[in-house]
Structure 1
Amino acid sequence: MNTLLYALFCALRCHRWLRLLACAFLFTSVGNGLTQVMVFGLLLDWRGPPSLLTMAYLFAMLPGFLGSLVGEKLCMRFSPIRLLVLTEWLGLIALLFPLLGIQYHSIVALLAVQSTEAFLAGMSWPALTLLFRRGLSEAELPAATCLETMIFASQVLLGTGLGMMLFHHVPAMALLGIDALTFVGSLLMLLLAGSALPSLAPEQAAETERPVAVRWQALAPLQKRSLLLLPALAAVGSPAMALLPALAQQIEPDAAAGLALPLLFARSMGQLCGPLLLKRESLPRYAGRNRLLLTCLGLFLLAYGTVPLLSGMQALGAVFIAHLASNIVFAVGTFSLLSSFPIGQVSSASGKAWRWQTASASLFTCLTALVADVLGPLQALYGVSGCALLMVVAILTRYCK
């Protein structure tokens, strides 16, 4: 068995700190997924226009640009585990925003919690990649790729699954209480992981390579390509993901929330299963294969393009297939980023990739919102994502391995 999932199991068996870290992000993922269900569910119940729903996706992403800058700088002064603990504390405090939103029926407060979570996600990303690069060997990097993918997917998979069962059946305040408990559990796991780290790599405890900034002009072509893979995925994928609630409104005008939440769940299932189809030894090869990456992105766009034409389980299946394909690209891009840079540059490189990914997704989300208001969601999806795919073809051809 050489799949990424098997590589992750082997790494978890060998490293106690990694098991604790995985538990910490499991807690956080459940809480963040619950918050996302609550925010989008309330916006749909309050009958927000398609442009507002699309902009809600933007507010859930754009502050990550600033967050990655802050995280990159802090990684040069503090240990990554301390930064992760800090982000969890701030996330717990940020639950005051949805509390105010529910209390005063405030859309602004709901968007504020999305923005805060985006900032903290961007802040934690450089610390997380630096922690993986320091604590794992080169041979174990596929395990880090798999874990990051599972963290990304379980944020909505577990939280959305629970949220779908509880939303409209449990008061929103109770959902917030559950969310707060998940942050407390995550903080406990991170503190335990921090105490376990020194015994794992004593040779690195005293003299870890000091993080340094990455300069584009000094990078090799392979490193430039690694930095561009995730922003390229964001350019193609963000219009479709931003339009998902609006597409649900178009399919089921009178029951949009009832369809949008299962679509979010199908999205996360695809995100989780896609990378698990890959074998760990094939990741370096796939990172340089333009045809495979472009085929996955094209399949993503095609599957999303059929969603408004389908209904029920068919639409769920199309979304699942779309993210099955796109997250193969995500896994390849994440592995390429971890493996192409030395330990001293990985936090800076990951922060830069996060910012470019955020900028790419924000730009194309804004374009999508404008086109959706004028031409409609489906036309916006085909037009904006299609243009993004052509741009990605040019970029990957220019920086071919």
Structure 2
Amino acid sequence: MNSLVYALIEALRRHRWLRLLACAFIFTSLGNGLTQVVVFGLLLQWSASPALLTLAFLFATVPGFIGSLVGEKLCQRFTPIALLVLTELLGLIALLFPLLGVHYHSIPALLAVQSTEAVLSGISWPALTLLFKRGLSEAELPAATCLENVIFASQVLLGTGLGVVLFQHIPTLSLLAIDAASFLGSLLMLVLAGRVFAVVSTPLPADASDSVALRWQTLTLRQKRSLLILPALAAVGSPAMALLPALAQETHPENAAGLALPLLFARSMGQLCGPLLLKRDSLTHFAAQTPLLVTCLAVFLAAYGMIPFLSGQIWLALGAIFFAHLASNIVFAAGTFGVLSSFNAGQISSASGKAWRWQTVGASLFTGIAAVVASKFGAVQALYSVSTGGLLLVALVMNRCRD
């Protein structure tokens, strides 16, 4: 078998630390998804404006720029496992923000937890890629790509899925208690993983140092393209995803939360299933083919563009979102694999940090524009104009890095 799923199963069988790491991130993804449901569910219940709903997504993105800088520096001084444990501890403490938000009916407190999670995600990303690079062989990197997609999707698949079911049936404080328990479970798994982790020796160039500062002028064409894939996805996808709750509010005002939360769940199902359609050998091909990547982004945007016309047909709307994220997460898998495979262990934390920051800049810029357009012209017009502009810019930039 040549699928990414089979590659992941093989790697999980071979590495006990990887099994524990996967369990840890499933736990924390459950908690993060529940937090997202609490934040957006309360904002919708409190009748937040479309611009504020879009800015909530922005607050969950921008601080990641600072986090990636911090994470890149910390990777030079601490082990990746230690950094991941630190981010989980801080994530547990950050649950104080939604508690304050619920108690005082405070929107700033809800936005604060979004920002804190963004910082911690920025710190953990370079640590996670460095951990994969040190602990897995080159042949096992497709398994790391698949696992990162599972981690990414399980946040909404498990957390949002459970949250959608429970949000209107149990108190918000109970959801936050489940969230806290998930962080504690993750901490336990990470500590156990650190005890059994073993470095897989990977040859480095003779002049490679422990941490290499990357300069654009010295990168190969393959390395440049690999760094651009995730920012390209952010430029096209972030405005659309940020506008999703506002689209639900605008097209289905009588039950915005009832539509928006299932749409978030459908989004995660697509995120999970998209990379699973790929074979391990096809990742290299996808990462090198600009037209294929741009086509996937265009399919994503077209599917989102159908949502305003499907407001009265929720199952078709859910299908459109699912299909959109099948396409977008093929791009995500290609971008993740491109970074892991194009840089050596001495470069990987710097490269992944740089890709994360560019991704954050792209998401922040286009989401900010979308928020402004949504406040003046509505969410639907913002979706069509901003994401389409992002797609055209991405096609132009990526075309310059073709072989």
Partner of 2:113: 113
CA shift at 1:287, angstroms?
Answer: 1.0
Query: Equivalents in 2 of 1:211, 1:23: separation in Å?
Result: 29
Provide the residue aligned with 1:362 in structure 2.
364
8 A contact 2:59–2:114 mirrored in 1: yes
Structure 2 residue runs without a partner (length 5+): none
Q: Report if aligned partners of 2:134, 2:202 keep a CA contact under 8 Å in 1.
A: no
Would you say the 8 A contact 1:31–1:179 is kept in 2? yes
Mapped to 2, the partners of 1:98 and 1:379 lie a distance apart of 32
How far 1:186 moved relative to its partner? 0.2
Secondary structure of the residue aligned to 1:280 is coil
Per the TM alignment, residue 213 of structure 1 is displaced from its structure 2 partner at its CA by 1.9
Q: Is the 8 A contact 1:299 1:322 kept in 2?
A: yes
Aligned counterparts of 1:227 and 1:35: Cα–Cα separation in 2: 30
AA paired with 1:391?
Answer: L
Equivalent runs, 1:98-247 vs 2, <5 Å: 98-198=98-198, 201=200, 210-247=210-247
**Partner of residue 340, structure 1:** 342
- Deviation of 1:291 (Å): 1.8
Q: 1:308 to 1:192 in 2, by over 3 A?
A: same
Q: Which amino acid in structure 2 is aligned with residue 232 of structure 1?
A: A
Letter in 2 for 1:173: L
Q: Which residue of 1 aligns with 2:295?
A: 295
Name the counterpart of 2:388: 386
Deviations 1:336-367 (A, max 9, x none): 01000011000000000000000100000000
Matched with 1:36 is 36
Which range moved further: 11-20 or 160-169?
Answer: 160-169
Cα distance, 1:99 vs. partner?
0.5
Which amino acid counterpart does residue 156 of structure 2 have in structure 1? V
Q: Give the superposition deviation at 1:220.
A: 1.0
Alignment counterpart, residue 331 of structure 2, candidates 329, 332, 335: 329
TM-align CA RMSD = 1.2
1: CA distance, partners of 2:67 / 2:53: 23
TM-score by length of 1: 0.97
**Under a length normalisation based on structure 2, what TM-score does the superposition of the two structures give?**
0.97
TM-aligned CA deviation for residue 209 of structure 1: 6.2
Instruction: Supply the AA of the counterpart residue of 2:184.
Output: V
Measure, in 2, the Cα distance between the counterparts of 1:266 and 1:11.
Answer: 28
Aligned amino acid, residue 361 of structure 1: A
Deviation of the 1:211 alpha carbon: 2.2
Three-state SS of the structure 1 residue aligned to 2:168 is coil
- Secondary structure of 1:210's aligned partner: coil
AA paired with 1:307?
A: I
CA deviation map 1:71-117 (0-9, x unaligned): 00000111100000000000000000001000100000000000000
Identity of aligned residues (%): 70
Q: Distance in 2 between matches of 1:213 and 1:197?
A: 26
> Does structure 1 residue 6 correspond to structure 2 residue 39?
no
C-alpha distance in 1 between matches for 2:296 and 2:200:
38
Q: How far 1:203 sits from its partner (Å)?
A: 8.9
In structure 2, how many angstroms separate the alpha carbons of the residues matched to 1:291 and 1:218?
A: 25
d(CA) in 1 for partners of 2:262, 2:223: 38
C-alpha contact 2:136 2:200 (8 A) present in aligned 1: no
Q: How does 1:281-320 map to 2 (within 5 A)?
A: 281-310=281-310, 311-320=313-322
Following the alignment from structure 2 to structure 1, what is the Cα–Cα distance between the partners of residues 381 and 57?
A: 18
Runs of 4+ in 1 over 3 A off after TM superposition: 200-204
1:63 maps to what in 2?
63
Unmatched segments (≥5 aa) in structure 1:
none
Size of the alignment, in residue pairs? 397
Residue deviations 1:377-398 (CA, integer Å, cap 9, x gap): 1111111111111111111110
Residues 1:74 and 1:15: Cα distance change in structure 2 (over 3 Å): same
How far the C-alpha of 1:314 sits from its partner, in A, is: 0.5
Hey, what's the Cα distance between the residues in 2 that align with 1:252 and 1:35?
23
Amino acid at match of 2:289: R
Q: Which amino acid aligns with 1:273?
A: C
- How many angstroms apart in 2 are the aligned matches of 1:391 and 1:397? 10
Supply the distance in 2 between the matched residues of 1:109 and 1:27 (Cα, whole angstroms).
24
CA contact (8 A) 1:209 1:343 kept: no
Contact 1:76–1:212 (8 Å) recurs in 2: no
Tell whether the 8 Å contact from 2:37 to 2:261 is kept in structure 1 after alignment: yes
